[in-house]
Structure 1
């Protein structure tokens, strides 16, 4: 950590001690995207103490701000709202110098965070050559990547930039595949500029991305050494971005918490979302929405044949133990179910499936519905509304039409002699699919011993529950897989409403 703090000191010296130097903060640059109307973009940077700085915007529309005074080496300006489009030149000027950003567009900014499945670069995915070729056809989807840095204290600015704002295909090969494809799919629908900001680090638990305030809400006050030290990436890779006005965020993380504070994830993940929302809202002076849309990928797969409940548990905890989003605890969120996208031959390890196109597309459907209020978009897979238990069978009524492929073991029931809560060590047995209708599935409970009763039901409750796009239940279109779930069962001839 001494090296990191030293690097911070060097950066601070270069930014604040250059006499007469006027500049923008680290994540502003040529080719960037600023948040469009109805929100207002925030610009800030560094300059000589006490001087007056004016921002001029020239392009399809023109704007000149009132002068602001540099205080403690920093100036900050909030533009009037600007409609989507461009290009613009943005100039900061004081009495003796200017700094100019060229080829600036206005559109929607999405922050992309998480661990290695968000980090996985474009050149590593299926059909990489074709995808990289297509990237050149999307000059209005721009990318930026923060460098991997840690800090023991909250940083005002990024310690280092990994990839500056770029026009594709420049730097796209090294950029997050999920982030890029998500932005590309959104552009196909929206037809205006999209800015993508990548800030992620492989192998990291949620605790390093969370502020001390968020961690305290879940009773997480202890720390680890090294890269798992609490809040070090919040300090270095998220906190510096808070002044930026953003449209929303997407997130792919949780693998590192399958064996670290797993039982806390149903608290720590929603708490981080809430905290980021408040922090970005305050940091942008109220321009970023207090409830900005937050999308995430429900964990895919890791080890075929694994008997542990680690991955199923985290998938469940990612929804605050409700099974779907948005819900009352996680409002204005959306989720891409990915457990049906395993990659047994991935050269990067089975924990890193190469099909990021389906992941990003499912995320983009959620964004269109939740962030852009498109009521015509289906973005959620089937989820049970009611469970009816009969002496030899169990009926599930889903919240939408279903496409069913018979399976003998993807559904499981817990059988007990007395009505007690079922857990990982309980006797779970398969419940084969025997009949189905437009919105219903009937399961056989014959494998439950005659002296025992069905106490609980679960679906796809395994690390690797099915083959590629071959789970048992999908939406009628076949595009969206059913969500995994676990539920207690009512007495026979009763029902449970989830």
Structure 2
């Protein structure tokens, strides 16, 4: 029996489709980090990699240098071009069954800029603290190039990422780039006069564990269980996913059942008839750590009365809000609108017409923060209710709040593997795809999110640095970092402090080979965890690179504690980087002394040459000294280069945070 014409046509279509699929997959494909305007690191081998059909020959040519490779059984290939001196522009041509040409490629210095929100903060976001309008107007600098990695997470290492491609620095593109990264790169370019490529791979509000690979974290038994769970999740293990989803639903129910906002009988805190006379005022949007709830992690309720005009009554509305850190459940007139779990994502909920009435309406939010800063935050213009005509009622401003349970009284919560603070997920999504791109070094601004686990940071920070170095396999490349800026209220008396402990962990990381630290202890903001003076931060990082890597031997660090010696009722402190010690102001401030009782009291201090002598008349036998040991210390010791002394302590007494290696 002859096949019908329709069957023959269908067969031909199927064959053509298969051939097209094979042809598409046979073509050379390149990762997103390769684009026009890119910069390669000078004077090192230049890796170029991608995919094509298995067994294909791939030709890679940059300028006059050319190399050929054969793809492996999976179609993967990697070529290495011999080193170039700084210069350009060049064309990079990759040829297989198809050809890709990247234009305006430069050779110079390439740096990864990584960390959390203070590295992510863009030039356009820093206001005019740094004469920003003029900086932007002067930013036509074609030898500086940017690549910004889109924030994302992944449960397993990825081969590619997303981004806008490499951009040439000008008055428009500079606005969207990391401010710290830009000022760092600009300083390098001003001094070196060679191309500078900056790769911004940062994600706000994130823990260092998220930036570290599973291979490194598994060397610490503390992470064994979570790493196994991440592995099963990434493999879509059916039994694991069923149990995981069940536990997540159980947690949601139990966390509400234990909250005082949900009494076993009577009016709940979401209801319109609730008496709120005992509630306090709070500003939205603003992290609660910047208001009355410093260092609180747990559940906080927010409420606000909204006046709805009669013309909106009985119509569907949309509630728009900025990000909520971390988890919210939101109600309108006592009815749940929705919930979200990602701390950095804006919320949008539909308000059904049946709930909307003219006059007084109640908006209620239950916010749970699991660690680090928390609250209802973002920009004021993100908070509004809108109708179908896009008319708006603003809901930013004064709200009422009441805190309930601290996080340690909550039932244990299953890890969210989409959460950017889940171990390994940022390394997998935002660092692994960059490897083995040629680079000169890394600058890093992170730690705010780890202040509650500062002793762990002593282990985790060096672990991450060595992790990245081992993955790139190009030796101990430079890794320079920012010591946390001053932030929050000033303590009237010496006290233990988690931010001080985190800064100490950063200071201790200088023991790792080829690292450098820029202190920001004097350029923070008491009420803003994102201080605006990013130019000074970038410049201080650049000073380290210029001195340690590029041979410009200017001072690059403020005074760093070396040793102490008790001399009667005083203590003599010696420093590195102590040339020209000076006080900024009339009196040396920030020192505290303790005796055998381990109770610190404010101390007097004076400079003697390159030393500082410290004493307290109330303590005849001092045994320990601390300097700038607070979240927001009042301190003013500098060296001749105008760089601030790093906070330190001479004791090793028990502190607030615990080390997981001892748990």
Q: TM-score range by the shorter chain?
A: 0.7 to 0.9
**Within the alignment, does 1:32 sit opposite 2:38 as a pair?**
yes
In structure 2, stretches of 5+ residues that fail to align are: 1-19, 227-414, 653-663
Instruction: From 216, 236, 242, give the equivalent of 2:435.
Output: 242
How many angstroms does 1:456 deviate by?
0.9
User: What SS does the aligned partner of 1:26 have?
Assistant: coil
The residue that corresponds to 2:137 in the other structure is: 133
The residue that corresponds to 1:180 in the other structure is: 182
The residue that corresponds to 1:378 in the other structure is: 555
The residue that corresponds to 2:101 in the other structure is: 100
**Within the alignment, does 1:206 sit opposite 2:176 as a pair?**
no
Q: Distance in 1 between matches of 2:565 and 2:541?
A: 32
**Within the alignment, does 1:302 sit opposite 2:487 as a pair?**
yes
How many angstroms does 1:314 deviate by?
0.3
**Within the alignment, does 1:397 sit opposite 2:397 as a pair?**
no
- Contact 2:571–2:622 (Cα < 8 Å) also in 1: no
* Mapping of residues 108-119 of structure 1, within 5 Å: 108-119=109-120
Change (3 A) 1:41 1:171: same
The residue that corresponds to 1:232 in the other structure is: 425
How many angstroms does 1:23 deviate by?
2.8
- CA deviations 1:289-338 (Å, max 9, x no partner) are 310000000000221225551110000011337xxx3x3xx110011000
- CA deviations 1:109-143 (Å, max 9, x no partner) are 1011100000010012222222212221x211100
- Contact 2:210–2:421 (Cα < 8 Å) also in 1: yes
The residue that corresponds to 1:410 in the other structure is: 590
The residue that corresponds to 1:472 in the other structure is: 636
Q: Distance in 2 between matches of 1:16 and 1:271?
A: 43
Change (3 A) 1:429 1:55: same
How many angstroms does 1:408 deviate by?
6.4
- Contact 2:569–2:622 (Cα < 8 Å) also in 1: no
Change (3 A) 1:456 1:291: same
- CA deviations 1:190-229 (Å, max 9, x no partner) are 1111110010100000000011232233444054323321
- Contact 1:408–1:431 (Cα < 8 Å) also in 2: no
How many angstroms does 1:342 deviate by?
2.0
- Contact 2:41–2:438 (Cα < 8 Å) also in 1: yes
Q: Distance in 1 between matches of 2:157 and 2:563?
A: 47
The RMSD of aligned alpha carbons is: 2.1
User: What SS does the aligned partner of 1:334 have?
Assistant: strand
- Contact 2:582–2:607 (Cα < 8 Å) also in 1: no
Q: Distance in 2 between matches of 1:114 and 1:484?
A: 21
User: What SS does the aligned partner of 1:129 have?
Assistant: helix
Instruction: From 451, 455, 468, give the equivalent of 1:263.
Output: 455
Change (3 A) 1:105 1:15: farther
The residue that corresponds to 2:626 in the other structure is: 458
The residue that corresponds to 2:244 in the other structure is: none
Change (3 A) 1:311 1:71: same
The residue that corresponds to 2:198 in the other structure is: 196
Stretch of structure 1 that moved more, 218-227 or 453-462: 218-227
How many angstroms does 1:42 deviate by?
0.7
Change (3 A) 1:45 1:314: same
What TM-score does the superposition give when structure 2 sets the normalisation length?
Answer: 0.62
Instruction: From 142, 146, 149, give the equivalent of 1:146.
Output: 149
**Within the alignment, does 1:318 sit opposite 2:511 as a pair?**
no
- CA deviations 1:82-117 (Å, max 9, x no partner) are 1110000111112x4211000000111101110000
- Contact 1:51–1:69 (Cα < 8 Å) also in 2: yes
Q: Distance in 2 between matches of 1:368 and 1:108?
A: 12
User: What SS does the aligned partner of 2:24 have?
Assistant: coil
Q: Distance in 2 between matches of 1:132 and 1:384?
A: 38
Q: Distance in 1 between matches of 2:562 and 2:56?
A: 63
The residue that corresponds to 2:528 in the other structure is: 350
The residue that corresponds to 1:441 in the other structure is: 612
User: What SS does the aligned partner of 1:99 have?
Assistant: strand
Q: Distance in 2 between matches of 1:184 and 1:356?
A: 12
Q: Distance in 2 between matches of 1:73 and 1:79?
A: 20
Q: Distance in 1 between matches of 2:124 and 2:105?
A: 27
Q: Distance in 2 between matches of 1:481 and 1:333?
A: 18
What TM-score does the superposition give when structure 1 sets the normalisation length?
Answer: 0.82
Q: Distance in 2 between matches of 1:67 and 1:217?
A: 36
Stretch of structure 1 that moved more, 399-408 or 356-365: 399-408
Aligned residues: 432
Q: Distance in 2 between matches of 1:305 and 1:465?
A: 6
- Contact 2:116–2:206 (Cα < 8 Å) also in 1: yes
Work out which of the two has the higher radius of gyration on C-alpha atoms and give 1 or 2: 2
